Amino acid sequence: MTEPLRVVFVLPVVVGGGAERVTLVLLKQLLLPSAEIHLVLFKDDGLSEAKLPSGVTVHVLGQPRLRSALIRLVQLLRRLKPTLVFSSHGYVNVPLLLLRSLYGHRVQLLLREANTPSSSLAAQRFTWFFHWAYRMLYPKADAIICQSRLMSCELERDFSVPRNRLHLLYNPTDADAIRNECVPQRVPGSGLRFVAAGMFHPKKGFDRLLEWFAAMPADSHLTLLGCGSMEKPLLKIVSKLGISTQVSMPGFEPRPWGWYAGADAFLLPSRWEGMPNVVLEALACGTPVIAMREAGGVVDIAEMSSAADITLCSTGDEFIDAMQRTQCRNISSLSPSRLPVCFSLDYGVERFNTILASLLNARVR
């Protein structure tokens, strides 16, 4: 008897960063009417907010940490006998590949790389292990989705992943949904208004952004949206620089698009990124972006955008200069979208379903 077609998505949590959001978008737009769709979560935080399609079966392992969840994950995969497993986090991708022989049958692994390896692996606690694991295990994946050309190049060049297993898929952005919920929001005042957003983590570069922003005129204002382990250090930097009246940190905002739309420019000071969703969302809101060139996939976005949409900087001085040259937009209504078409929801979903179909068809043959 032929096993039914089963596709399993693996996520540590529902509510999180860009990897979680993109995974849920792809799951919701899956075009496999005859398949069983399963979602495996390490913990169920935010599950009620995910608005999953009715046909998706959810499995909660009840173990938030990877080490504790692995045994239950293997047991579940042995029981489900999935046709294909999709994962979007490097630290989950590695054990999925490593433990493949324990699943009891042949499982196709479609992996998505969330960050540029040259930067993200260097920041891992066990750098040597992850470099070894990527070199030994990633070439054995059935397919790997890359968010940028840089990411694809590094996986082929540095980790010997065959080129025919690497698939470029830009993060699909639902510009219409964002714009439907978007009412421009702006801190009162006559000076320039900037917005930045993300987890308060060293890779996001908010510490250096505050240093650069201190060079701006006193009537300028920065709204920094987010939360995380660096919140107190960032507040100390604000106090030390004497810019407390120029910087607001209102916390995490699940729908930050009004802030994006009301800004004169969105700022991305990241030290590294995969494909920065915040930039795509800001462009969808009609807001120009100032970004550090080293922030991974932002280079791909810039190459498909006009010079007025994205300014790429290589140094802090260039970033300061770009902020100082920003024009006040005097926003009274939502500006037209600046999002390139290849980052649209329809384009990304079609591309993902094509990749998935090719893998499943190859399995049948």
Q: Would you say residue 47 has pLDDT above 80?
A: no
Report the CATH number at residue 136: 3.40.50.2000
Does any domain span residue 1?
no
Are residues 120 and 193 both part of a single domain? no
Does any domain span residue 278?
yes
pLDDT on residue 350: 93
Label residue 361 by pLDDT band (50, 70, 90): confident
Are residues 55 and 143 both part of a single domain? yes
The count of domains in the chain is 2
Give me the chain's average pLDDT, please: 90
Return the minimum-mean-pLDDT range out of 8-17, 72-81, 240-249: 8-17
Percent of the chain with pLDDT over 90: 67
Does any domain span residue 75?
yes
Bridge partners of 84, per DSSP, are 7, 108
Are residues 34 and 139 both part of a single domain? yes
Over residues 208-235, mean pLDDT = 96
pLDDT on residue 363: 62
Are residues 103 and 132 both part of a single domain? yes
Are residues 147 and 238 both part of a single domain? no
Tally of CB atoms within 10 A around 111: 26
Three-state SS string over the chain comes to: CCCCCEEEEEECCCCCCHHHHHHHHHHHCCCCCCCEEEEEECCCCCHHHCCCCCCEEEEECCCCCHHHHHHHHHHHHHHHCCCEEEECCHHHHHHHHHCHHHCCCCCEEEEECCCCHHHHHHHCCCHHHHHHHHHHHHHHCCEEEECCHHHHHHHHHHHCCCHHHEEECCCCECHHHHHHCCCCCCCCCCCCEEEEECCCCHHHCHHHHHHHHCCCCCCCEEEEECCCCCHHHHHHHHHHHCCCCCEEEEECCCCCHHHHHHCCEEEECCCCCCCCHHHHHHHHCCCCEEEECCCCCHHHHHHCCCCCCEEEECCHHHHHHHHHCCCCCCCCCCCCCCCCHHHEHHHHHHHHHHHHHHHHHHHHC
Are residues 31 and 43 both part of a single domain? yes
Are residues 230 and 282 both part of a single domain? yes
Does any domain span residue 16?
yes
Are residues 201 and 161 both part of a single domain? no
Are residues 207 and 228 both part of a single domain? yes
Q: Would you say residue 365 has pLDDT above 50?
A: no
Q: What is the pTM of this model?
A: 0.85
Look at 226 and 49; give whichever has higher pLDDT.
226
Are residues 179 and 100 both part of a single domain? no
pLDDT on residue 29: 87
Look at 46 and 273; give whichever has higher pLDDT.
273
Does any domain span residue 54?
yes
**pLDDT, tens only, 146-164:** 998 989 999 999 999 999 9
Label residue 32 by pLDDT band (50, 70, 90): confident
Are residues 266 and 350 both part of a single domain? no
Give the residue numbers spanning the domain of 94.
6-172+344-364
